[in-house]
């Protein structure tokens, strides 16, 4: 039976429903045919869900799945072992990720699995994903962004004070949350920075996974939806690498999720008002001092939530609470940024402005999209990366299409069918938390749009972990209500788990890509360029020149010199001096010598391995650098030009790295 | 049957123990690390939850909140310690133990939460041997993965090389130079060094045997005439290929600006 039209008024003469009325749409969906089937598929039909069975946790399954996850880690370690020897084994690596995720998705997404078992399984695979990143580089931080924060943490440890200068990322010392947590552990326990950093990352990851689960469970009141949403969340492009790095967003994301979870306790009065305020404002304050962009995204979340609660027809008991929290979520990061001299604005402003302009141009047809599936040097991504990325995108889009109206309908209960959607369009809903999650999923296509632009991909990348909170919920609704309802056949359950697994693999492929496969040394390829020879050269500088020498070098050796070498590297970001021409130009003219003087550069480190290949990330030193021929590596003569100038010393040589002393030339008149 | 100690008592004891360990035990001591890890990541959060009014149930959600609150409390603590110039081990221990104590004291103003009634159900039994074996196997496999990865991370070297350098013995006073070499070739090496000043040989060393990872340095006094630029150049040879200069470094002395 079709539900009555929402806009029917008692006493009116019965009239045939208009074809766009809720009743007509419901009837059309029920009648079948192509349009009817599409309407039924993407529509808001919510069949009554079978109550979740009260099964006991099954320790046997938990043990078996733990063995499977551990086996996947062993396979990954073997794949990296071969990769070190420049025999990258992509097949073994991707199989390992599949073995890690698929059985867990099958069990955790099953109707009837016990709540405790679901929590165990999502926490297991969440921690395994962090372990996978650790296996890639188990003895040191190697990712570019990690070095930026290692430099800030080392400054705190050595100088015992905050707000020192970090030429690699000048904004980093103004947001010291991650570094404070890590250096506190180093000071208290005596752990090395790398180990303390991983303790913080492990705690942050565990809290993130448990937090996402508990938030979704509290909001949806379904352990199954929460577990599936958690698994979908792990398919966001930042989960395995970007948000597992020793970088401020990794901790900020945890504060964001826990702040939402704490706020959600006011929804059903699980906590007293005072406790809810304290538990929500504490992570918000910590977040404001940890990461600028995450703090602003969080402010947007709470502002939207407060606005949605304003219109909730069921009368939101947490309306005033959410308003106060939203004001705090906006005020805290703005106030912190002002306290730090507006450093966040100067850093974020250009990124947002340029990214938005490029997205607008792309949408209006006047701009071109970024070339996908190729490195900046033009090398094409392997086929598996492209396949996983595209299929995962299709799965997510399919999940959003089939789940969005269903998720909206859940927030407008007790109306059912299309009447719920019409009610939503009249700004009348009953559950602003569910609606927040559903609307957040709309951010997914926006983030994909940003990722297509050259300047905005970074915004799209940062948006991923936030919008996937909503996307996870919407796709979980689609899965539990349509793809795999209670009593689904084993084949259907396997297909759904396979779809979730493809999401997970696609997230890794999109976020980490080809470099997730370990290889030997590659030129200007971030983690693939960090190896003992460069580290030893930086350590030589620390031991024999002493900390604080003013250096210029290529992108990779800069971060090694700043962290392992404790040298002061001259950068455009901080010193406003572009020294890339000093390194790459064929001769030293007045401009290059002027840059040496302006930047007080006493040492130049050249890495002759740069002559063996094009830079994997598009440039050797920084964007806009000198390029003689974009299709050929830099000439050895260009790097060795320093040999020809009488005032320049040649201080160090290891066959690849040469340190030239330019102090004499710089000071000569 | 003895009653279990309350979480508040455990938090107070844990914080006090960690403070004492930081004050008395040296940096890097295992006991100190074991005592301080929960001080940084758990006890202050437990105290915070009790101070603001922790719900009665001890669910995972609230344990997660306790850990989050502890990590979050590190941030204002760090900002305060920075202001006080105490951003060291003792400063951190004082802050965390002090915050834990203050929050526990504040929690005493609240009525103690009643213990949740024990949930009905079977008493917890030890896992069956097969299940336990499964978990142990998982641990073993994960441990194997860690061993492979750490071994590669510590020992794999794609490049074999020798470092060679020359620096003024005392910066800004070029009366002598320091010449050094380090063997990172992963096999024992024998080197020879020749030094020239303005093209004329002034010193040489032969048969410098270095084990992998070992280094050697030599000080070389120079004859320097004030105001006269001079160039000191050192060549390194390896015994496998004595006719070819393996590494080359030089230093300009007395040059304008040097």
Tokens linked to A43 = 């529509």
Q: Which residues contact A409 (CB under 8 A, 6 or more apart)?
A: A44, A46, A415, A416, A417, A420, A421, A424
DSSP 3-state of A644:
helix
Q: Which residues contact A445 (CB under 8 A, 6 or more apart)?
A: none
> Is A251's CB within 8 Å of B71's CB?
yes
Judged by average pLDDT, the poorest of A217-221, A517-521, B19-23, B134-138 is A517-521
Cα A137 from Cα A147, distance rounded (Å)? 13
Cα B18 from Cα A591, distance rounded (Å)? 58
| Closest residue in A to B215 (Cα–Cα) | A540
Judged by average pLDDT, the poorest of A454-463, A560-569, B202-211 is A454-463
DSSP 3-state of B214:
coil
CA of B189 vs chain A CAs: smallest distance (Å): 15
Q: Where are the alpha helices (DSSP H) in chain B?
A: 7-24, 30-41, 43-52, 60-84, 89-108, 129-155
A568-569 vs A550-552, strand pairing mode: parallel
- Band of the pLDDT at A123, cuts 50, 70, 90? very high
C-beta separation of A48 from A106 below 8 A? no
- Band of the pLDDT at A390, cuts 50, 70, 90? very high
- Band of the pLDDT at A75, cuts 50, 70, 90? very high
Judged by average pLDDT, the poorest of A254-258, A303-307, B61-65 is B61-65
Which pLDDT belongs to residue A4?
45
- Selection from A186, A180, A164 nearest residue A252 by Cα: A180
> Is B252's CB within 8 Å of A646's CB?
yes
Q: Which residues contact A485 (CB under 8 A, 6 or more apart)?
A: A47, A49, A50, A111
- Considering the domain architecture, whether residues B101 and B168 belong to the same structural domain is answered as no
CA angle A405, A409, A411 (to 5 degrees): 125
How high is the ipTM of this complex?
0.92
Within 8 A of A669 by CB-CB distance, chain B residues are 256-257
Supply φ then ψ for residue A53, to 5 degrees. -70, 150
CA of A396 vs chain B CAs: smallest distance (Å): 28
Cα A182 from Cα A62, distance rounded (Å)? 32
- Band of the pLDDT at A3, cuts 50, 70, 90? very low
CATH label of the domain that carries residue B237: 2.60.40.2550
> Is A189's CB within 8 Å of B93's CB?
no
- Selection from A594, A596, A602, A669 nearest residue B256 by Cα: A669
Q: How many CB pairs under 8 A join A and B?
A: 294
- Considering the domain architecture, whether residues B103 and B173 belong to the same structural domain is answered as no
In-domain check, residue B153: no
Q: How far is CA B162 from CA A186, A353, A538, A611, B212, in A?
A: 34, 49, 14, 20, 10
Q: What is the mean pLDDT of residues A430-443?
A: 94
Within 8 A of A140 by CB-CB distance, chain B residues are 153
Tell me the domain boundaries of chain A.
Answer: 526-667
| Tens digit of each residue's pLDDT (9 = 90 or more) over A4-61 | 444 444 555 556 566 678 888 888 878 888 888 888 888 888 776 667 666 788 999 9
Which pLDDT belongs to residue B117?
56
Tokens linked to B126 = 């030890």
Judged by average pLDDT, the poorest of A321-330, A344-353, A446-455, B129-138 is A344-353
Interface-testing mutation among B31, B54, B65, B229, with chain A (most A C-beta atoms within 10 A): B65
Q: How far is CA A210 from the centre of its chain?
A: 17
Which pLDDT belongs to residue A27?
81
* Nearest-by-Cβ selection for B78 from A176, A521, A647: A176
Cα A100 from Cα A65, distance rounded (Å)? 9
End-of-domain residue from the set B89, B108, B127: B108
How high is the mean pLDDT of chain A? 90
Q: From first to last of the 258 residues of chain B, give the pLDDT tens digit.
A: 456 678 888 999 999 999 999 999 988 888 999 999 999 999 999 999 999 987 666 588 889 999 999 999 999 999 999 999 999 999 999 999 999 999 999 998 877 655 555 555 555 666 788 899 999 999 999 999 999 999 999 999 999 999 999 999 877 666 889 999 999 999 999 999 999 999 999 999 999 999 999 999 999 998 877 778 889 999 999 988 888 999 999 999 876 554
> Is A71's CB within 8 Å of B141's CB?
yes
- The end-to-end CA distance of chain A, in Å, is 93
| Tens digit of each residue's pLDDT (9 = 90 or more) over A468-514 | 999 999 999 999 988 888 888 999 999 999 999 999 999 999 888 87
CA of B104 vs chain A CAs: smallest distance (Å): 15
> Is B61's CB within 8 Å of A184's CB?
no
Q: Which residues contact A388 (CB under 8 A, 6 or more apart)?
A: A94, A502, A505, A506, A508, A509
- Selection from A503, A514, A292, A540 nearest residue A391 by Cα: A503
| Tens digit of each residue's pLDDT (9 = 90 or more) over B161-201 | 999 999 998 776 668 899 999 999 999 999 999 999 999 99
Which pLDDT belongs to residue A381?
80
In-domain check, residue B114: no
Cα A632 from Cα A638, distance rounded (Å)? 13
> In b/e form, how buried is each residue of B5-21, taking b as 16+ CB within 10 angstroms?
eebbeebbebbbbbbeb
CA of A590 vs chain B CAs: smallest distance (Å): 17
- Judge whether residue A291 has pLDDT over 60: yes
May I ask the CATH class of domain A526-667? alpha beta
C-beta separation of A608 from A658 below 8 A? yes
- Judge whether residue A122 has pLDDT over 60: yes
Let me know if B240 is exposed, middle or buried by CB neighbors in 10 A (0-12, 13-18, 19+): exposed
Which pLDDT belongs to residue A375?
66
Q: What is the mean pLDDT of residues A612-636?
A: 90
In-domain check, residue B238: yes
CA of B107 vs chain A CAs: smallest distance (Å): 12
> Is A261's CB within 8 Å of B65's CB?
yes
| Neighbour tally for A236: CB within 10 Å | 29
Which pLDDT belongs to residue A12?
56
| Tens digit of each residue's pLDDT (9 = 90 or more) over A571-583 | 998 999 999 999 9
CA of A361 vs chain B CAs: smallest distance (Å): 41
- Band of the pLDDT at A451, cuts 50, 70, 90? confident
Mapping DSSP onto H, E and C, the string for A565-631 reads CCCEECCHHHHCCCCHHHHHCCCCCHHHHHHHHHCCCCEEEEEHHHHHCCCCCCCCCCCCCCCCCCC
Q: How far is CA A155 from the centre of its chain?
A: 26
> Is B138's CB within 8 Å of A652's CB?
no
Q: Between A519 and A103, whose confidence is greater?
A: A103
Within 8 A of B146 by CB-CB distance, chain A residues are 77, 135, 138
Supply φ then ψ for residue B119, to 5 degrees. -70, 140
Q: Between A347 and A27, whose confidence is greater?
A: A27
In-domain check, residue B148: no
Name the residue range of residue B235's domain.
Answer: 161-253
Which pLDDT belongs to residue B103?
95
* Nearest-by-Cβ selection for B89 from A163, A188, A203: A188
Interface-testing mutation among B76, B77, B125, B163, with chain A (most A C-beta atoms within 10 A): B163
The DSSP symbol for A243 reads G
Which pLDDT belongs to residue B121?
53
In-domain check, residue B61: yes
Cα A390 from Cα A499, distance rounded (Å)? 12
* Nearest-by-Cβ selection for A74 from B78, B141, B163: B141
Element (DSSP H or E) covering residue A65: helix A59-84
Q: Between A150 and A455, whose confidence is greater?
A: A150
Which pLDDT belongs to residue A468?
96
Q: How far is CA A602 from CA A544, A556, A560, in A?
A: 14, 19, 17
How many folded domains does chain B comprise? Answer: 2
- Band of the pLDDT at A346, cuts 50, 70, 90? low
> In b/e form, how buried is each residue of A17-46, taking b as 16+ CB within 10 angstroms?
beeebbbbbbbbbeeeeeebeebbebbbbb
Query: Does residue A470 have a cis peptide bond before it, meaning omega lies within 30 degrees of 0?
Result: no
In-domain check, residue B87: yes
CA of B138 vs chain A CAs: smallest distance (Å): 4
The size of chain B, in residues, is 258
- Judge whether residue A387 has pLDDT over 80: yes
| Closest residue in B to A539 (Cα–Cα) | B163
> Is B138's CB within 8 Å of A272's CB?
no
Interface-testing mutation among A188, A256, A533, A640, with chain B (most B C-beta atoms within 10 A): A188
> Is B87's CB within 8 Å of A161's CB?
yes
> Is B159's CB within 8 Å of A285's CB?
no
- Judge whether residue A622 has pLDDT over 80: yes
Which pLDDT belongs to residue A442?
94
Element (DSSP H or E) covering residue B119: none
| Neighbour tally for A50: CB within 10 Å | 11
- Judge whether residue A289 has pLDDT over 90: yes
Which pLDDT belongs to residue B126?
63
C-beta separation of A12 from A4 below 8 A? no
- Band of the pLDDT at A195, cuts 50, 70, 90? very high
CA of A240 vs chain B CAs: smallest distance (Å): 17
Q: What is the mean pLDDT of residues A275-281?
A: 94
In-domain check, residue B175: yes
Percent over 90 (pLDDT), chain A: 67
| Closest residue in B to A529 (Cα–Cα) | B158
* Nearest-by-Cβ selection for B131 from A60, A206, A653: A60
| Closest residue in B to A285 (Cα–Cα) | B72
Q: How far is CA A430 from CA A262, A310, A400, A605, in A?
A: 21, 11, 21, 63
> Is B77's CB within 8 Å of A544's CB?
no
CA of A46 vs chain B CAs: smallest distance (Å): 29
Mapping DSSP onto H, E and C, the string for A528-544 reads HHCCHHHHHHHHHHHHH
The size of chain A, in residues, is 669
In-domain check, residue B130: no
- Considering the domain architecture, whether residues B96 and B31 belong to the same structural domain is answered as yes
- Band of the pLDDT at A403, cuts 50, 70, 90? very high
């Amino acid at each position: 039976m079709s539900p009555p039209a929402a806009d029917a008024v008692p006493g009116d003469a019965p009239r045939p429903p208009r074809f766009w009325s809720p009743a007509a749409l419901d009837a059309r969906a029920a009648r079948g045919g192509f349009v009817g089937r599409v309407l039924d598929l993407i529509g808001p039909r919510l069949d009554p869900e079978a109550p979740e069975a009260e099964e006991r946790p099954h320790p046997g399954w938990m043990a078996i799945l733990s063995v499977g996850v551990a086996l996947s880690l062993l396979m990954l370690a073997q794949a990296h072992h071969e990769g070190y020897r420049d025999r990258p084994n992509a097949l073994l690596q991707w199989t390992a990720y599949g073995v890690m995720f698929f059985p867990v998705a099958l069990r955790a997404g099953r109707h009837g699995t016990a709540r405790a078992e679901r929590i165990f399984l999502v926490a297991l695979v969440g921690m395994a994903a962090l372990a996978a990143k650790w296996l890639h580089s188990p003895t040191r931080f190697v990712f570019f962004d990690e070095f930026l924060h290692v430099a800030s943490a080392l400054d705190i440890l050595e100088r015992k004070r905050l707000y020192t200068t970090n030429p690699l990322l000048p904004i980093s010392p103004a947001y010291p949350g991650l570094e404070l947590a890590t250096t506190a552990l180093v000071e208290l326990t005596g752990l090395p920075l790398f180990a303390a950093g991983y303790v913080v990352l492990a705690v942050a990851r565990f809290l993130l996974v448990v937090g996402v689960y508990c938030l979704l469970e509290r909001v949806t009141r379904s352990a199954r939806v929460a577990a599936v949403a958690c698994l979908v969340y792990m398919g966001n492009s930042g989960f395995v690498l970007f948000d597992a790095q020793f970088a401020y967003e990794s901790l900020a994301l945890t504060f964001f999720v826990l702040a939402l979870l704490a706020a959600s306790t006011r929804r059903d009065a699980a906590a007293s008002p005072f406790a809810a305020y304290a538990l929500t404002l504490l992570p918000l304050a910590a977040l404001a001092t940890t990461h600028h962009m995450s703090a602003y995204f969080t402010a947007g979340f709470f502002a939207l939530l407060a606005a949605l609660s304003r219109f909730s027809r069921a009368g939101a008991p947490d309306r005033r609470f959410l308003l106060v929290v939203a004001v705090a979520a906006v005020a805290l990061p703005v106030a912190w940024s002002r306290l730090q001299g507006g450093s966040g604005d100067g850093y974020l402003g250009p990124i947002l402005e340029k990214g938005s302009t490029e997205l607008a141009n792309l949408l209006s047809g006047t701009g071109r999209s970024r070339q996908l599936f190729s490195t900046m040097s033009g090398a094409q991504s392997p086929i598996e990366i492209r396949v996983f990325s595209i299929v995962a995108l299709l799965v997510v889009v399919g999940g959003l299409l089939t789940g969005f109206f269903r998720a909206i309908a859940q927030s407008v209960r007790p109306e059912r069918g299309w009447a719920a959607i019409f009610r939503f369009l009249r700004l009348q809903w009953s559950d602003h938390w569910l609606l927040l999650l559903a609307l957040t999923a709309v951010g997914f296509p926006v983030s994909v749009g940003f990722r297509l632009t050259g300047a905005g991909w970074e915004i799209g990348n940062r948006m991923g972990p936030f919008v996937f909170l909503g996307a996870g919920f919407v796709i979980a609704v689609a899965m539990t209500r349509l793809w795999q309802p209670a009593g689904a056949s084993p084949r259907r359950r396997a297909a759904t788990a396979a779809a979730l697994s493809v999401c997970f693999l696609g997230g890794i492929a999109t976020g980490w890509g080809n470099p997730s496969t370990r290889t030997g040394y590659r030129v200007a390829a971030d983690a693939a360029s960090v190896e003992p020879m460069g580290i030893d050269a930086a350590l030589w500088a620390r031991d024999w020149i002493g900390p604080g020498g003013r250096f210029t070098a290529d992108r990779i050796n800069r971060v090694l010199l700043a962290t392992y070498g404790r040298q002061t590297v001259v950068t455009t970001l901080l010193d406003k001096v572009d020294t890339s021409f000093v390194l790459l130009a064929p001769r030293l003219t007045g401009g290059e010598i002027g840059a040496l003087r302006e930047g007080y550069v006493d040492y130049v480190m050249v890495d002759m391995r740069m002559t063996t290949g094009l830079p994997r990330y598009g440039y050797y030193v920084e964007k806009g650098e000198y390029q003689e021929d974009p299709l050929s590596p830099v000439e050895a003569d260009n790097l060795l030009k320093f040999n020809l100038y009488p005032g320049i010393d040649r201080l160090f040589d290891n066959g690849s790295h040469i340190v030239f002393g330019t102090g004499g030339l710089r000071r000569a008149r | 049957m003895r009653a279990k100690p309350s979480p508040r008592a455990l938090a107070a004891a844990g914080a006090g123990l960690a403070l004492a360990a930081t004050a008395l035990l040296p940096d890097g001591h295992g006991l100190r690390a074991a005592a301080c890890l929960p001080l940084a990541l758990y006890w202050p959060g437990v105290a915070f939850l009790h101070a603001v009014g922790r719900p009665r149930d001890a669910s995972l959600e609230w344990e997660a909140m306790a850990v989050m609150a502890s990590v979050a409390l590190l941030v204002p603590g760090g900002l305060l310690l920075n202001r006080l110039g105490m951003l060291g081990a003792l400063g951190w221990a004082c802050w965390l133990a002090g915050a834990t104590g203050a929050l526990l004291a504040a929690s005493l103003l609240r009525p103690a939460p009643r213990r949740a009634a024990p949930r009905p159900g079977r008493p917890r039994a030890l896992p069956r041997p097969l299940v336990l074996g499964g978990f142990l196997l998982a641990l073993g496999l994960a441990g194997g993965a860690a061993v492979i990865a750490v071994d590669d991370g510590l020992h794999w070297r794609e490049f074999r090389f020798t470092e060679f350098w020359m620096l003024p013995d005392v910066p800004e006073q070029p009366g002598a130079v320091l010449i050094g070499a380090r063997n990172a070739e992963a096999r024992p090496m024998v080197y020879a060094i020749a030094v020239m000043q303005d093209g004329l040989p002034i010193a040489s060393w032969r048969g410098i045997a270095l084990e992998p990872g070992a280094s050697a340095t030599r000080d070389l006094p120079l004859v320097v005439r004030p105001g006269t630029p001079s160039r000191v150049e050192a060549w390194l040879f390896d015994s496998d290929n004595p006719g070819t200069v393996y590494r080359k470094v030089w230093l300009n002395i007395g040059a304008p600006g040097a």
